[in-house]
Structure 1
Amino acid sequence: MPSIDVYKLITQIVNHGDKLLSNSKRSLIKYLLPIEKSFGYYTGNKAEFYDPQEDQIFYRNFKVDDEQSRIDSINYINGRIDYYNRHCDEQIKKGILVRNEYSKIPHLYEWALKLRLSPPIIDHTTDFMARNSIALIRTVDDPYVYKCGMKMANDDFVPRFNKMIYDYLIALTKGKKLVPQNTLYNPILEFEDWFMSSGIEIEKTPSLTNGLKGTKQSKLPVIFEVDDKTASINLKPSIKANPDYKRWYQSPIEAKIINLIENDALDNFIHDCRFKNVNKINIKKLSKKLNCSDKTAKKMIQLHAPYILEL
């Protein structure tokens, strides 16, 4: 059986560690959802890091279909990040830099996949996600899961991934009958409903933890999958170490638009910015929601998500 930390995967899926969510792991796990589809994370051709100390962008290009070049690029950028973090720590010790002026920059993910969660069927989960503006896109970073994504297409990967999580949840219950107040009650219902509504028998579905022996190489594995909507968006194809840094964007408005796009949340965001009788964007409403001018709102949509204006 392959080595895989399923609990760690679950915490990534429920987005524990998100600075906007102060909830504990336990309270977030009750909102755990099955996945609907998976996509490649490294579908661009560049890894980048902006060093605020040197005011310089470091980057390495890589070939999407060349694993060694991808790993080499990420290792180079992570090395630059290590240098930056060490340099800042030294400056703090010398009193040159104040601690609250510096935030440690984490490494780029080395084994990441993007996941789209299945929309919840339980009202309580739906309300929680809406209240906290939680999108359905997640990123998981695990070498074995990535290896599976290198070989399997979504038709195989998604059911086996969901079965892996489901088996783990069931094992935790140790055969006990749960009540709605239990943390795992809703997640188990969500996974069981996903299998039923997908017409897939849980018992006959192998788990990812069964290994890859006998699995045929797909012509379109998960790591090369690109969401059709994402593919139509004009975004610079790169993996950024500190994507929230203002240096990458023309304005905070652009940063917000890109963040919505990358989290598959743009369509929901603009849902109430359409004319009632015509399925067209009301730029004035959108600009008010973005807190910018009509001209800026239209420019950002034209630049990064032109399909929105074509609907």
Structure 2
Amino acid sequence: MNDFETTIDRISKEQDPEYRSRVEQFIVETVRALPNLTTKQGASLAIQLLDAVQLADTPGSKGVASTSTPRALPASFDALTSLITQLDVRSDAEWRSFGFQPVEAAHPLLIAIPKIEIFYQHTDVEPASDDTVAPDFQENQALWRKRMGSVTEPNLIYKEFSGPGKAQRAVEMLGNLWKIGIVVTRNTESRLGLSRVEYTPTPGEVPVPLLSEKNCWYSIRVSETLGENQVPEIVRCVAEIFCGYLPQMWLNQPIPAGKLRIQESEAAAYIALARLDLSPRTGNTTWTNSYISSRPLSPAFRWDVVLEASHQLENLLRGDTGPVTAVQTANG
């Protein structure tokens, strides 16, 4: 989880509980709002934006008190998300391609994953001429959300879970679940979803597209009573695997389980669903009620694991990854 070590350090350094909660929200909502960047890039950019927009209280950084006057924290979660929707952050190369250049007092934002790139907010650039215009940023982000990967494999059996609205998109994305050995079926015995190991593959084994309940590595059973929340619940159940609550049988060193199975898996799904242009879960849950409050999450909550899990979720569902290969023995 070293990719998000800086993120955890930034959250941890906020001593005031309300500030810490808003910092968590700002990082997560920025990652959700910028699907043109990877989750890792988005988290890195969010940390720098915190100081650039003077959102959070940062006295004492590196032993020196801040000389700037911090902007008052948004009074609510809605106000914070409204602030983030106004962000227009692009690379230096992109701004220049549209005829913009940094102003003298610009604050460059650096992303070093996988190479160093400089980004600027729209307030830090100026047009070279009066008729210079940049394409709408939010429309560009919407196109990135709709992007499908090169190895996407639709499966019509998942149409029954998708409901109205974005049914075809859900079919395309859930069709990739076989790549890590998952089969989803309906479950009339539970109110939510149940995920478990069904079959432990031998080292070197690769899942096949036509998996059944008898030879799948994992089974997910989703309650039909969930209605429009069936797809978000399926994604949450997949997140349980990436968060370590079921063994990842394709890793030499699987992620260990934490103490907050539902909350962490739901958080990872919350991030991935927004970046994938899939409908969000409706209604509030224990996790969302905690997340949108002014109180920080439990000390046991692992944002580094959750952010990495959301990254893996997105890659799998979008169709950016091929099938895995079993490398370990796990106990179901």
The TM tier, using the shorter chain, reads under 0.3
Q: What is the TM-score with the length of structure 1 in the denominator?
A: 0.24
Query: RCO (CA 8 Å, sep 6+): is it higher in 1 or 2?
Result: 1
Q: What is the TM-score with the length of structure 2 in the denominator?
A: 0.23
